[in-house]
């Protein structure tokens, strides 16, 4: 008999340990949990359903919640998380649980983005240490467990008031321009990355401060910023990262120019692996800490309970002492934004408390016990 942890939320009594045999079905597990008082019969506002933590399909029409009619046929062992956990979701609850695929990068066409704790600024490192921040959880192809309309392609969840940086990798001709913005206040970062002669057509840049202000990038809760209107909350938490091609610039009186184009769809082109080329060696420390933060391997099904999180967004953090690029560059020639190389939309959430964050990491998404063998 295997010992399995069952979770239905992050409250004090929202987890219980049970013994499980290979032949035990979800229907039988449900009856045991009801008999023990862990869950009750369906009510208008409370309807617990099992989540398939081995979910493979994450399309917009994906069903991550297992229908009750299937419970008598499904072995409970078949839907456990990698750490042997069984997850229940209240599909009638006000706030949906979010289920998606853990990832280290977000992608769109010729652009890749990673969100990490700010490692450049001393003030950022102090702030993150003070609040107990860990590397942000990044999920893609995220679907809610209730009937809430919407499909979040990319979601990032942080400890509230984490100070973060964005690593952007993009194809370019003579370089690229990158812009980060939210729908509520507009762009908060815009810069140009230039290539030199002989450089390959891809480049990585780290964005750790606000454009035109010596302030770091912080992730705060919408309610902490007195943003309470529903539509404004969504605009606040929706961050867009996009790049466009630089074809020419002038430096030191010399003009650098290239009008090369990315390979057309259907032909071999910049792949996800090559866009992020060098990521593992350049930021191995980030990868280890994110593995702990995600508490899973990238590509695993990841669940975040709705009672543990709230909408978040980008605000100004502590002063930044990160250096900006030097050298005067003129004569920028840039494509129109209608010809963007990629556009990645990320929805930000923050944990309501550090305790809730730890329960999500160490409980809901605990890694396989074989992960470090």
Alpha carbon of 120 to those of 75, 129, 135, 142, 207: distances in Å? Answer: 48, 14, 14, 30, 10
- Domain tally, the chain: 2
Same domain, 185 and 318: yes
| The pLDDT of residue 77 | 92
| The pLDDT of residue 280 | 32
| The pLDDT of residue 341 | 93
Provide, rounded to the nearest whole percent, the portion of the chain with pLDDT above 90: 45
Say whether pLDDT at 103 is over 50.
yes
Is 373 within a domain?
no
Q: What's the pLDDT tens digit per position in 310-354?
A: 999 999 999 888 666 555 677 889 999 999 999 999 999 999 988
Is 369 within a domain?
no
Same domain, 135 and 177: yes
| The pLDDT of residue 197 | 65
| The pLDDT of residue 214 | 85
Q: What's the pLDDT tens digit per position in 110-169?
A: 999 999 999 989 999 999 999 999 999 999 888 888 876 656 789 999 999 999 999 999
Same domain, 254 and 289: yes
Same domain, 75 and 160: no
DSSP secondary structure, 243-297, as one string? EEEEEEEEETTEEEE----PPPTTSS---HHHHTTTHHHHTHHHHHHHHHHHTS-
CATH code for position 16: 3.10.20.90
Tell which of 44, 61, 93 closes a domain: 93
Q: What's the pLDDT tens digit per position in 164-210?
A: 999 999 988 888 989 998 888 888 877 777 777 655 666 678 788 77
Tell which of 64, 93, 122 closes a domain: 93
| The pLDDT of residue 101 | 87
Q: What's the pLDDT tens digit per position in 24-35?
A: 999 999 999 999
Tell which of 49, 68, 93 closes a domain: 93
Same domain, 193 and 57: no
Q: Which pTM value belongs to this model?
A: 0.85
Same domain, 52 and 181: no
Is 225 within a domain?
yes
Same domain, 307 and 343: yes
Same domain, 268 and 340: yes
Confidence bin at 274 (pLDDT 50/70/90): very low
Is 372 within a domain?
no
Alpha carbon of 94 to those of 160, 235, 290, 306: distances in Å? Answer: 21, 20, 30, 9
Is 370 within a domain?
no
Say whether pLDDT at 68 is over 70.
yes
Same domain, 220 and 250: yes
Same domain, 79 and 154: no
Bridging pattern class, strands 254-257 and 238-251: antiparallel
Is 199 within a domain?
yes
Is 219 within a domain?
yes
Q: Which helix (H) or strand (E) is 14 found in, with range?
A: none
Same domain, 57 and 129: no
Same domain, 20 and 121: no
Provide, rounded to the nearest whole percent, the portion of the chain with pLDDT above 70: 81
User: The domain containing residue 121 runs over which residues?
Assistant: 99-364
Is 110 within a domain?
yes
């Amino acid at each position: 008999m295997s010992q399995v942890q069952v979770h239905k939320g992050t409250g004090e009594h929202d987890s219980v340990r049970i013994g499980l045999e290979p032949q035990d079905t979800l229907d039988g597990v449900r009856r045991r949990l009801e008999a023990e008082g862990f869950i009750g019969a369906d009510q208008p506002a409370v309807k617990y359903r099992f989540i398939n933590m081995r979910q493979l399909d994450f399309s917009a029409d994906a069903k991550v919640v297992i229908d009750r009619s299937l419970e008598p046929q499904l072995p409970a062992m078949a839907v456990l998380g990698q750490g042997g956990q069984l997850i229940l979701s209240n599909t009638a609850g006000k706030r949906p649980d979010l289920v998606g695929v853990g990832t280290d990068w977000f992608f769109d066409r010729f652009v890749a983005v990673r969100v990490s704790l700010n490692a450049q600024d001393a003030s950022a490192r102090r702030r993150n240490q003070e609040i107990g921040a860990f590397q942000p959880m990044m999920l893609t192809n995220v679907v809610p467990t209730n009937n809430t309309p919407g499909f979040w392609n990319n979601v990032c969840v942080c400890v509230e008031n984490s100070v973060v940086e964005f690593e952007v990798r993009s194809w370019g001709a003579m370089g690229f321009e990158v812009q980060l913005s939210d729908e509520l206040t507009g762009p908060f970062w815009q810069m140009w990355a230039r290539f030199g002669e002989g450089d390959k057509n891809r480049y990585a840049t780290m964005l750790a401060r606000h454009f035109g202000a010596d302030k770091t990038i912080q992730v705060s809760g919408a309610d902490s910023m007195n943003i309470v209107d529903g539509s404004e909350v969504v605009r606040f938490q929706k961050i867009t990262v996009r790049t466009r091609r630089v074809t020419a610039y002038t430096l030191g009186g010399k003009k650098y120019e290239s009008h090369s184009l990315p390979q057309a769809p259907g032909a071999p082109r910049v792949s996800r692996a090559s866009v992020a080329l060098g990521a593992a060696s350049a930021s191995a420390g980030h990868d280890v800490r994110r593995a702990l933060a995600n508490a899973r391997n990238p590509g695993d099904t990841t669940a975040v309970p709705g009672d543990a999180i709230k909408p978040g967004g980008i605000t100004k953090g502590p002063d930044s002492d990160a250096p900006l690029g030097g050298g005067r560059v003129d004569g920028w020639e840039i494509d129109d934004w209608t010809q963007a190389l990629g556009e990645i939309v990320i929805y930000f959430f923050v944990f309501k408390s550090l305790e809730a964050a730890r329960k999500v990491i160490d409980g809901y998404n605990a890694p396989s016990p074989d992960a470090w063998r």
